[in-house]
């Protein structure tokens, strides 16, 4: 029980840290968002030929966009900021001139959709291949797979993405080069919608899936070291069937260290969506964050950062809870 | 050890005062130390084709970043015709880009920054991970709880977006600073695994012995715990360096870092945002910076994979000349 309580507390602590970090970044960095937006708006006003620019009006606009009232004391601003976030008020996007929360709310399911498929495929393939490599250790299959793994871990996912979109999108035209669903399909639980969504998600998923080789290498190493353990020998002496030893003793123990990698790859994937979704023009959270970076749209940028982080914290939390299921030791409060 | 047999003790000698009959000078001791900690790993490394190939690749990048920069002249716009294909002229071995710059020269001149960035980033990340991870694991108690909370929080904060925000606010143009910013993403995972490694080393007999002998905590950490983790740290150094360069090139590619430096990511960005995706004749403009990244990280991955065996103290002992082999291990 204590384990679950600690994990829950951990999740809240993380979110609190992130919110504070964003607050500090918006407020305290010189030349940060506030100054930048003021300059941006002043330029806009002068560009429209209004002659004298009304500083009070500009300050008002900056406040409206960012939810920040600079003349209040710092602690008061911080409380207001937390309060606004609790009410899901992330400010207004300068570029799209829409509420940040509504832009991102419509985008996040798509990002989660692509990432969860990739994660699932990655771990199934990685664990499967790694276990096979360990089983046939030293064979030609093992050496060949190791070579493949070395090559594929050397290629960054965005390079894979560019190559995929170049070959299958632009040259061959087999897959769409952008968008989330075909333009003539309505959102709803229809066959067209589901297949259309999968069709558009195929290339982004494929570019992330190449990461499974790295997992296979760790799984192989873990399995080999588990194979040398005494309890495997005991299991064999007890006459337990090979298949049961492989599944219940080897794989189950070899997976444990991989769980940490799962946690890290969740954050990595969500962060990477900024680069990935831009390449595929896939309108998820990462795509809007990219647009915000390009146009220096700070409210959207900060909102994107917060939404991505909260998504990662929740996923890591779920993964942590399930770790308690596969490794019961952690839930009994074994400190070591 | 070099103390195979005890001399017979005389009556007035206490058995605890017996000295080894083999004299060993200070220099010899250092030689022994060097043999076991430095040369043995190198010998194992040289045995493995992966390490050899990896070191050759990284070595050529270092040459490219030092000598190459002196030998290859920097390129400018309109040095040649636009979009000369690769392998066609000796002047532009990898062809030219859309504004007539020599692609080969651009790749060479970006190398020093890339090397500095990944070296700085990996060093900072690994040092931070060692300090936090080893302390948390060794000291335990409340310190461990606080540091573990810190590590877990940092793991759950996606690194790339945070780094992007910092890059945009601070606008770093110095490769060292960029490396340090990028290290934020690299340390928590390693710190977490170091912590659990330390927990298992802590339980070994020799650490317990050192503790009973009254060695201070920092001394035990430095002399008993850390040396056992060195191969593990080394492997992770390579992997972190690779991740840092992936992130740096990615950030330049999406334009989150200022365009003040030469970088393969900037080349990618320029090519990607012009015609390279649509015109087959321009594909080499996109392809060669990609190849530069892939080869560099392949070098790092190969070294990391090849040095994996250093983890095993048995293999290490077999390659150290000052360690006498017992007959059953010579197989």
- Go through the domains of chain A in sequence order and give each one's CATH number: 100-335 (1.10.3720.10)
Is residue B185 within 8 Å of residue B159, measured between CB atoms? yes
Is residue A58 within 8 Å of residue A35, measured between CB atoms? no
- Over residues B175-187, the mean pLDDT reads 87
* Best A3, A6, A11, A14 residue to mutate vs chain B (most B CBs within 10 Å): A14
Cα separation, A309 vs A21, in Å, equals: 12
- Over residues B126-150, the mean pLDDT reads 88
Count Cβ atoms below 10 Å from residue A112 Cβ, excluding itself. Answer: 17
pLDDT of the residue at A336: 40
Across-strand partners of B102?
B96
Percent of chain B with pLDDT over 90: 5
Residue among B316, B248, B282 at smallest CA distance from B44: B316
**In this structure, which long-range contacts are made by residues A140-146, counting pairs with CB atoms below 8 Å and at least 24 apart in sequence?**
A142/A220, A145/A216, A146/A217, A146/A220, A146/B305
**Which residues in A lie closer than 8 A to residue B294 (C-beta atoms)?**
154-156, 159
pLDDT of the residue at B101: 77
pLDDT of the residue at B236: 85
pLDDT band, very low/low/confident/very high, at B327 (cuts 50, 70, 90): very low
pLDDT of the residue at A327: 75
The one-character DSSP state at B74 is: P
Decide if B253 and A316 are in contact by the 8 Å CB cutoff: no
Joined tokens for residue B214: 């009254």
Task: Please report, for residues A6, A118, A260, A334, B249, the alpha-carbon distance to residue A13 in angstroms, rounded to integers and kept in the order given.
Answer: 10, 28, 19, 22, 32
- Ranking A35-49, B130-144, B191-205 by mean pLDDT, the lowest is A35-49
Cα separation, B198 vs B136, in Å, equals: 9
Altogether, the residues listed in chain A come to a count of 336
pLDDT band, very low/low/confident/very high, at B132 (cuts 50, 70, 90): very high
Model confidence over B216-255: pLDDT tens digits?
888 887 777 777 787 778 888 888 898 888 888 888 888 8
Residue among A268, A122, A148, A279 at smallest CA distance from A209: A122
pLDDT of B2 > 50? The answer is no
pLDDT band, very low/low/confident/very high, at B324 (cuts 50, 70, 90): low
A312 Cβ under 8 Å from any chain B Cβ: yes
Residue among B111, B58, B37 at smallest CA distance from B301: B58
pLDDT of B313 > 60? The answer is no
Q: Which residues does B177 contact at the CB level (< 8 Å), separation at least 6?
A: B170
Task: Please report, for residues B137, B161, B200, the alpha-carbon distance to residue B131 in angstroms, rounded to integers and kept in the order given.
Answer: 10, 25, 17
Model confidence over B284-299: pLDDT tens digits?
888 888 899 999 999 9
The DSSP line for B180-204 is HHHGGGTHHHHHHHHHHHHHHHHTS
pLDDT of the residue at A32: 59
**Which residues in A lie closer than 8 A to residue B165 (C-beta atoms)?**
22, 25, 301-302, 305
| Minimal Cβ distance to B156: which of A158, A305, A313 | A313
Compute the mean pLDDT over every residue in chain B, rounded to the nearest whole number. 78
Planar angle of CA B45, B237, B312, nearest 5 degrees: 45
pLDDT of the residue at B328: 45
**Which residues in A lie closer than 8 A to residue B308 (C-beta atoms)?**
221
pLDDT of the residue at A70: 65
- Over residues B109-117, the mean pLDDT reads 87
pLDDT of the residue at B316: 58
DSSP element (H, E) containing A3? helix A2-28
Decide if A14 and B152 are in contact by the 8 Å CB cutoff: yes
pLDDT band, very low/low/confident/very high, at B329 (cuts 50, 70, 90): very low
pLDDT top residue among B227 and B113: B113
pLDDT band, very low/low/confident/very high, at B123 (cuts 50, 70, 90): very high
Q: Which residues does A2 contact at the CB level (< 8 Å), separation at least 6?
A: A333
Cα separation, A131 vs A152, in Å, equals: 18
Model confidence over B5-44: pLDDT tens digits?
445 445 556 666 666 667 777 788 788 777 777 777 777 7
Q: Which residues does A89 contact at the CB level (< 8 Å), separation at least 6?
A: A67, A101
Percent of chain B with pLDDT over 70: 80
Count Cβ atoms below 10 Å from residue A12 Cβ, excluding itself. Answer: 11
Joined tokens for residue A241: 């069937």
DSSP element (H, E) containing A232? helix A230-237
Spans in chain A with pLDDT lower than 70: 1, 28-35, 45-53, 66-71, 185, 330-336
Q: What is the largest CA-CA distance in chain B?
A: 94
DSSP element (H, E) containing B7? none
Q: What is the largest CA-CA distance in chain A?
A: 91
pLDDT of the residue at A294: 81
If you measure CA to CA, which chain B residue comes closest to A10? B149
Cα separation, B166 vs A18, in Å, equals: 13
**Which residues in B lie closer than 8 A to residue A170 (C-beta atoms)?**
277-278
Decide if A150 and B160 are in contact by the 8 Å CB cutoff: no
pLDDT of the residue at B124: 94
**Which residues in A lie closer than 8 A to residue B242 (C-beta atoms)?**
154
pLDDT of the residue at A335: 45
């Amino acid at each position: 029980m204590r384990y679950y309580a600690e994990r829950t507390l951990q999740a809240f602590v993380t979110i609190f840290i992130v919110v504070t970090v964003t607050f500090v970044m918006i407020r305290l960095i010189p030349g940060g968002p506030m100054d930048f937006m003021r300059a941006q708006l002043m330029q806009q006003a002068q560009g429209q030929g209004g002659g004298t620019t009304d500083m009070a009006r500009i300050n008002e606009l900056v406040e409206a966009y960012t939810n920040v009232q600079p003349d209040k004391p710092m602690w008061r601003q911080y409380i207001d900021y937390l309060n606004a976030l609790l009410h899901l008020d992330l400010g207004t996007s300068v570029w799209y001139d829409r509420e940040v929360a509504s832009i991102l709310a419509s985008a996040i399911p798509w990002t989660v959709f692509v990432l969860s498929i990739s994660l699932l495929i990655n771990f199934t393939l990685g664990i499967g291949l790694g276990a096979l490599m360990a089983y046939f250790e030293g064979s030609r299959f093992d050496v060949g797979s190791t070579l493949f793994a070395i090559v594929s871990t050397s290629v960054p996912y965005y390079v894979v993405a560019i190559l995929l979109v170049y070959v299958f999108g632009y040259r061959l035209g087999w897959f769409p080069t952008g968008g989330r669903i075909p333009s003539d399909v309505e959102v709803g639980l229809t066959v067209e919608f589901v297949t259309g969504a999968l069709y558009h998600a195929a290339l982004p998923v494929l570019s992330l899936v190449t990461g499974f080789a790295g997992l296979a290498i760790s799984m192989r190493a873990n399995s080999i070291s588990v194979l040398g353990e005494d309890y495997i020998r005991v299991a064999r002496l007890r006459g337990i069937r090979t298949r049961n030893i492989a599944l219940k003793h080897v794989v189950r123990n070899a997976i444990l260290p991989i769980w940490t990698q799962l946690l890290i790859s969740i954050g990595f994937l969500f962060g990477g969506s900024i680069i990935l979704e831009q390449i595929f023009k896939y309108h998820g959270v990462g795509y809007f964050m990219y647009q915000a970076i390009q146009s220096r749209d700070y409210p959207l940028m900060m909102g994107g950062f917060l939404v991505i982080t909260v998504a990662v914290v929740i996923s890591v939390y779920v993964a942590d809870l399930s770790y308690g299921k596969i490794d019961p030791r952690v839930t009994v409060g074994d400190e070591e | 050890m070099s103390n195979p047999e005890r001399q017979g003790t005389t009556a007035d000698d206490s058995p605890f005062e017996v000295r080894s009959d083999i004299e060993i000078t200070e220099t010899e001791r250092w030689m022994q130390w060097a043999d076991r900690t430095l040369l043995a790993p190198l010998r194992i490394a040289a045995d493995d084709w992966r390490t050899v190939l990896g070191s050759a690749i990284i070595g050529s990048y270092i040459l490219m970043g030092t000598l190459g920069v002196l030998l290859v002249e920097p390129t400018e716009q309109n040095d040649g015709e636009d979009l000369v294909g690769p392998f066609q002229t000796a002047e532009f071995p990898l062809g030219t880009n859309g504004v007539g710059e020599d692609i080969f020269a651009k790749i060479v001149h970006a190398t020093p920054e890339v090397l500095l960035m990944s070296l700085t980033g990996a060093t900072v990340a690994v040092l931070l991970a060692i300090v936090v991870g080893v302390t948390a694991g060794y000291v335990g108690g409340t310190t461990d709880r606080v540091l573990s909370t810190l590590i877990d929080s940092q793991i759950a904060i996606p690194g790339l977006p945070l780094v992007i925000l910092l890059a945009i606010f601070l606008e770093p143009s110095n490769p060292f600073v960029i490396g340090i910013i990028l290290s934020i993403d690299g340390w928590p995972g390693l710190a977490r695994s170091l912590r659990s490694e330390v927990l298992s080393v802590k339980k070994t007999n020799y650490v317990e012995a050192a503790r009973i002998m009254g060695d201070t905590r920092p001394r035990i950490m430095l002399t008993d715990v850390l040396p056992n983790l060195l191969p593990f740290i080394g492997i992770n150094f390579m992997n972190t360096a690779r991740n840092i360069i992936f992130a740096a090139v990615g950030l330049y590619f999406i334009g989150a870092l200022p365009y003040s430096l030469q970088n393969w990511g900037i080349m990618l960005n320029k090519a990607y945002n012009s015609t390279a995706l649509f015109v087959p004749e321009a594909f080499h403009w996109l392809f060669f910076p990609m190849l530069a990244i892939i080869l560099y990280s392949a070098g790092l991955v190969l070294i990391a994979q090849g040095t994996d065996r250093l983890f095993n103290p048995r293999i290490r002992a077999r390659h150290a000349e000052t360690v006498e082999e017992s007959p059953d291990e010579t197989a």
